[in-house]
A = this chain, B = another copy of it.
């Protein structure tokens, strides 16, 4: 991991912490283009009653409308392995590179993304794991709901 990579993952973790502080599922994400964060967000199930704003989706939503060319040069950082919905959004917009904080808590559609040619780097960050372990201990029902279980 380069320093830039660490910095952007750290920004995603800050989003996850923000979500946790608000009683939410602690998953955060940032979209990076040309070395700059152009969208950031975190899971909004508890805060907005949202079923579609996972961390990655919230970052994409907050990035706003973009030309296809921007997505195709962007990197999406997320604290947790992206679920099928978020992976589908990555596929839809042709985002070529995803950096994942951890995939111990939940294994998303990483193989599916790799099969499509998306570069998926898994960092295995301790803070990402710890945030999820704490939340799942405290609110297991909310976590299960968030992954459709």
Q: A: which residues have CB within 8 A of B?
A: 45, 49-53, 57, 60-61, 63-68, 71, 83-89, 91-94, 109, 144-145, 147-149
Known: A71-B148, A148-B71. A66 touches B51 (CB 8 A): yes
**A12 to B: closest C-beta gap in Å:** 17
**Complex: A66 Cα to B144 Cα, angstroms:** 11
CA distance A70 to B46 in the complex (A): 19
CB–CB B86/A65 < 8 A: no
Q: Are B88 and A144 in contact (CB under 8 A)?
A: no
Interfacial chain B residues near A94, Cβ < 8 Å: 148
> Would B91 and A149 count as touching, CB distance under 8 A?
no
Residues of chain B within 8 A of A61, CB atoms compared: 50-52
How far does the Cβ of A113 sit from chain B's closest Cβ, in whole Å?
10
A53 touches B51 (CB 8 A): no
Give the CA-CA distance A86 to B61 in the complex, in Å.
15
Give A94 to B94 CA distance when docked, in angstroms.
24
In angstroms, Cα B109 to Cα A88, docked, is 9
Interchain CA distance A135-B98 in the complex, whole Å = 33
Complex formed: what's the CA distance from A148 to B74 in Å? 13
- Asked if A52 contacts B51 (CB within 8 A), the reply is no
